[in-house]
Structure 1
Amino acid sequence: MRTRNDHSTMRRLPLAGAALTAALALATGGALTATAAHADPAGGGWVRVAHLSPDTTSVDVRLTGLAGGDLVSELDGVAYGAVSDYIEVPQGTYVVSMVPSGSPDSTAPMVRQSVNILSGQPVTVAAYGRNAELDTKVFSDDLTPPAEGQARVRVIQASTTAKAVDIATTTGVPVTQKAKQGTATGYASVGAGPWTLDVTSDPATSTTRTSQAQIDLAPGSVATLFVLDTADGGLTVKPVVDSAGVGELPTGGIQTGGGGTATEHVGVGNLAGVGVLLLLGVLGATALQRRRAGGATGAR
């Protein structure tokens, strides 16, 4: 995040120097890098919450500091299958608690999970399982961008009716095999674009059931596929974007509804437009200076 002094320095940067910077980027085929707001968490990390218990009603979620119990964030009416945006917090230990929606502040939490936030590390805190055996787990998220034209996906298996599932595209590309309840798989790179997935419960652990789900993966994105139960006892997949691409190029960090922490890359095509505008500005300023100099000479 730039300070006011940084902005004033930028305003004093000569226009010709800015044009030269753009021209150099174009000549080398490179890209300028602009850091978005909140790109530097100042030693902090990110946490988000997922409600993955099918027979648990909507909940209110509170994030508090372990030391002192100060309220950091509060989410109301979080329903089954909902995954919050990432919340940026300083490094430290926090407590995620859940109570039924609308409960008074004195209500004892049905879920209480401590989570240690490390510098630069995003995590997902999930409540999963049937209400009678509600459990929580902290998953570490890896938002490393994929290669150009690719997307990275992983699976969090939260179905309570399938002990393990296999997921593959209808074209035969495997996404995961034997993903167990309450676990997160590693990340796999797949081609960006729309996919139809076959979700099959592992016949070795439960009655075989197969369902289909539609996903559409943007180039450069990182996504988590949450396996959930349907009301009729089937399986479904909810894709959640963890890190979204900017334009046609990948980002370098987290994109959330409240403002990204990504490093945005301006492509060569955009730089060409910027370079033209800067060059026109330089030529216009030079012409104006010449006219003024000529007028001053004539006045003498």
Structure 2
Amino acid sequence: MRSSGLITRACTVAFTGGALAVLPGTPGNAAPDDGYVRLAHLSPDTPAVDVYLYTAGKKTPRLVLRHVAYGALSPYQRLGSGSYTVAMRPADAAASTKPVLSTRVRVRGGGAYTVAGVGPYKGIRLDVLDDSAQLPAGRAGLRIIAASLKQPEIGVTASGKRLARDLRLATATPYHVVPARSTPVRVTGRAGARASTTVAMKAGSVHTVLVLDGAKGLRLVDLRDAAQSPRTPRGGVDTGLGGLAAVPPRHSPASPGWSLLWPGLAVLAGAAGLGTLAAVRHRHKTT
């Protein structure tokens, strides 16, 4: 059965199947065959769910994300190369409950991926997006993901250049090569709806701008994705929406520096521990 993975602004995260490191502080911490996966909930009208990540063929989950709601994204999870299954169950359903939706992601060494639940509730699915790009020297990459139900078709420009004319809900543009500088991004919808943000693009960086439903109109969120291929995510990679807590690399989860980015977020570590969480930063603007 295909599709729909996710996470939340106030969710519980359980690490169950051994150590699952989150974003090493430096690329040297990762084995050459390691890859990275993050999970996102981008389905505007889908209720909260629990999301499970399994090594393919295994019954014990590597990661469990509970009470996942629209508009959240996890940090990258470092995984060995191979096949993994992402499964979605109703919130608080038993782990033995048949998944509502599931999909498989093939992790390749040095690769980075976003597994996102996208589309409206009646047509929700799980998409696997490749978060790396080949870039010319001194340039950056920019991608747009449409995840607004209020504005199911949008136009997008960056620094005055049109990136998309009628980008539909649950679709993403390819990475566009852009100059390495602060880039104004503007989104327009029906009936004059519009929103804008500015993305700080460093040379070699790869960004995604999510277009979400906000309390008043559209909301744009800038995510810094994996570094350009064949590199892997590094400490400080941005993940959006405060989906999971973050601590500076010098702190351990038990130290006084441990802080929660969203109230009510609980992190539960298995016997093998959490590893170090990378810094999480986000920017959004609602108009």
| Interval of TM-score (by shorter of Structure 1 and Structure 2) | 0.5 to 0.7
CA contact (8 A) 1:157 1:183 kept: yes
Note the C-alpha offset of 1:125.
1.0
| Distance change (3 Å), C-alpha of 1:138 and 1:111 | same
2:215 is the alignment partner of 1:225:
no
Highest relative contact order (Cα 8 Å, sep 6+), 1 or 2?
Answer: 2
> Which of 187, 191, 205 lines up with 2:179 in the alignment?
191
- Rounded to whole Å, the distance in 1 between the matches of 2:55 and 2:80 is 10
- Relative distance call for 1:223 and 1:168 in structure 2 (3 A) is same
Shift of residue 218, structure 1, vs aligned partner: 4.1
Do 1:37 and 1:259's aligned partners in 2 also have CA atoms closer than 8 Å? no
Cα deviation per residue 1:5-24 (whole Å; 9 max; x = unaligned)?
xxxxxxxxxxxxxxxxxxxx
Question: Higher Cα Rg: structure 1 or 2?
Answer: 1
Map of 1:120 onto structure 2: 110
- In structure 1, C-alpha distance between the alignment counterparts of 2:100 and 2:114, rounded to whole Å: 18
**Shift of residue 208 of structure 1?**
4.3
Aligned residues: 213
Tell me what 2:255 maps to: none
Q: Which residue is 1:137 aligned to?
A: 127
* Match for residue 235 of structure 1 among 214, 218, 222: 218
Distance 1:64 1:192 in 2: 37
Higher percent of residues as helix:
1
Q: For the residues of structure 2 that align with 1:113 and 1:153, how far apart are their CA atoms?
A: 26
C-alpha contact 2:113 2:131 (8 A) present in aligned 1: yes
**1:17-96 → structure 2 map (5 Å cutoff):** 36-41=27-32, 43-96=33-86
State the partner residue of 1:292.
Answer: none
| Equivalence map 1:94-173=2 (5 Å) | 94-144=84-134, 147-148=137-138, 150-169=139-158, 172-173=160-161
Cα distance, 1:197–1:112 mapped onto 2, change above 3 Å: same
Aligned-residue RMSD, C-alpha: 2.9
Contact 1:168 1:199 in 2 (8 A): yes
After TM superposition, the score normalised by the length of structure 1 is: 0.61
- Take 1:106 and 1:240, find their aligned partners in 2: how far apart are those partners? 34
* TM-aligned CA distance change 1:130 to 1:181, over 3 Å: closer
1-structure distance, mates of 2:40, 2:92:
18
Residue 243 of structure 1, CA deviation: 3.4
- Cα displacement string for residues 219-242 of structure 1 (whole angstroms, at most 9, x for unaligned residues): 13211111222345x333221111
Give a deviation string over 1:103-147, Cα, whole Å, max 9, x none: 332333333112222232222111112223222211122244664
SS at match of 1:184: coil
Counterpart amino acid of residue 80 in structure 2 = P
TM-score (norm 2): 0.63
Per-residue deviation, residues 26-83 of structure 1 (Å, max 9, x unmatched): xxxxxxxx96343434x23221111011122333221012212231222233331111
Alignment of 1:253 with 2:232, yes or no, is: yes
CA distance in structure 2 between the partners assigned to 1:176 and 1:71 by the alignment = 38
- Contact 1:65 1:94 (C-alpha < 8 Å) held by counterparts: yes
CA deviation digits over 1:128-176, x for unaligned, max 9?
122232222111222446643x43111122223444321114x523333
CA offsets, 1:246-300, max 9 Å, x none?
A: xxxxx9431356467xxxxxxxxxxxxxxxxxxxxxxxxxxxxxxxxxxxxxxxx
Task: Give the direction of change, closer, same or farther, for the CA distance of 1:223–1:119 in structure 2 (3 Å limit).
Answer: same
Aligned to 1:182, which of 134, 156, 170? 170
Q: Tell me the distance in 2 between the aligned counterparts of 1:200 and 1:216.
A: 17
Letter in 2 for 1:225: V
Identity of aligned residues (%): 32
List gaps (5 residues or longer) in structure 1. Answer: 1-33, 202-206, 246-250, 261-300
Unmatched segments (≥5 aa) in structure 2 = 1-24, 238-245, 247-275, 279-287
Distance 1:181 1:40, change over 3 A: same
